[in-house]
Structure 1
């Protein structure tokens, strides 16, 4: 994979072959696979995905693994429903994430990603140690496959994320940096996050958004370039960091408009990358 290759998140379905053909026609060579449905983590899907990727020459850079149970993406119900933080769902979700690691290993995918949830910012919070122990088990499971476990950013501050990684204390961890999430959750400026997370960054989502305007709901997601992420400066920082991974477009528009939005985002990213590269050479 070339440095700063542009990819896209792909939801797993039985139409994965057609999806990969669309990527090939759009000139997109990388993707992250994504699912919240445990039923797709099957050997039949392994064969289907592998054949489609081989035929269309698409590199799968990571597997974004969701988990069962409720999920509410806001600041109130989200605390009790998202990721491995809620004790009620922790064990069953840990099992599914380990199954996701097994699935990714069969496809030769090196990175497993998920949202861990609202990790307590107070390390003395009674729930913090339980989250760390569950994550340690998951990270060790990934390690057995030669994989990295990546934290999707957003629901915790970069400092909390670094502390959690330090407290787990295993070498095969990293970050999938979503700059829009940091803004939409009101947790950090993405430019500062690059400085704080540094070499931990192994994946990046290309998404844009606005800061929250109330205390319950996330900020709104926006089209690339229309939100608060300063993408020219963000990409320049990644280049200076010598980031070698992909910029993976996250577009939640469904249907025929999806690929149109992805192509627009790809063109915009290419413009920013070219401009940052010229500035860097200067």
Structure 2
């Protein structure tokens, strides 16, 4: 397993790659929420930068337009492909994102699908699953896997959705901290349910929620409730050999320090 880092696509992308290399890493997941950046010119710049430095972009994490609220109330109404009001526009945005990722020759395409209903008879569950399938069909054409990012749904609901879609290019980008921060599962145990579908992993840490409105707090890796020794051991047991991509949801020098500390922490476990 290699260790990489999550990178937000910015105008200074070549400098970001230089910084990643200076941290001793050779892989990243690339995140973009801005459809205006997904151009052929930007793709050429990205390809030149990663080729020059020998960096692998292991996944493209694609955001979508419209409001975004990371909590248990408004988030139910506005996240992912579940809310009917935003669904079609976001399907179109994700398809555009898949086409952009194809220009980068990226294999895995990742997003949050939203708070998938646990009730399989809920109409929003059925329609969200159909929407994911629309995107996954485009991903298949582009030789990509569509990966659900864990967090907003229980592991059983997520497995049901994958089985209901029934395509061989559907998998999971497993974020252990999200499962805690959304109060959905213990991430080590969740691998018993989802392990066969895991094609990407985030190195992130966090705490359980302390009320019914707000997500649990994200923490520097090793300072939250994810049992990383047990988690890494379980990843090895299920045969996972891909990258662990560090994610720290703050900015500035503190983020850099936490990323470097997380890399050292993970290296000791690996």
Residue deviations 1:41-90 (CA, integer Å, cap 9, x gap): 11111011101101111100000000010000000000001000000000
CA distance in 1, matches of 2:183, 2:249: 20
Of 183, 207, 213, 1:186 maps to 183
Q: Does 1:29 align with 2:26?
A: yes
- Give the drift of 1:258: 2.7
CA positional deviation for 1:260: 2.2
Q: 1:265 aligns with which of 246, 262, 265?
A: 262
TM-score normalized by structure 1? 0.94
Q: Deviations over 1:5-57 (max 9, x none)?
A: 00000000110000000111111010000011111111111011101101111
| CA distance, structure 1, for counterparts of residue 253 and residue 176 of structure 2 | 26
Report whether the alignment pairs 1:251 with 2:248. Answer: yes
Residue number in structure 1 paired with 2:159: 162
Structure 1, unmatched stretches of 5+, are 274-282
Can you give the 5+ residue segments of structure 2 that lack an aligned partner in the other structure?
Answer: none
Q: CA deviation at 1:189?
A: 0.5
SS at match of 2:221: coil
Residue 239 of structure 1 pairs with residue 229 of structure 2: no
| Structure 1 match to 2:4 | 7
Q: How many residues align?
A: 270
Partners of 2:223 and 2:253 in 1: CA distance: 22
User: Which of the residues 129, 133, 145 maps onto 1:132?
Assistant: 129
* 1:91 counterpart SS class: helix
Rounded to whole Å, the distance in 2 between the matches of 1:251 and 1:44 is: 28
* 1:174 corresponds to which of 171, 174, 190: 171
SS at match of 2:135: helix
CA distance in 2 between counterparts of 1:232 and 1:257 reads 24
1:228 paired residue among 211, 225, 239: 225
2:51 and 2:103 map into 1 onto residues whose CA distance is: 14
Separation (CA, whole Å) in 2 of partners of 1:232 and 1:57: 30
Does residue 51 of structure 2 align to residue 54 of structure 1? yes
Question: SS of the counterpart of 2:94?
Answer: helix
Separation (CA, whole Å) in 2 of partners of 1:26 and 1:126: 47
- What CA distance in whole angstroms lies between the structure 2 residues aligned with 1:258 and 1:190? 23
Residues 200-232 of structure 1: CA deviation (Å, up to 9, x unaligned): 000000000000110111000011111110000
Instruction: Show the counterpart of 1:278.
Output: none
Q: Distance in 1 between matches of 2:237 and 2:225?
A: 21
- Which of structure 1's runs of 4+ aligned residues deviate more than 4 A? none
Equivalent position of 1:277 in the other structure: none
Report the TM-score, using the length of structure 2 for normalisation.
Answer: 0.98
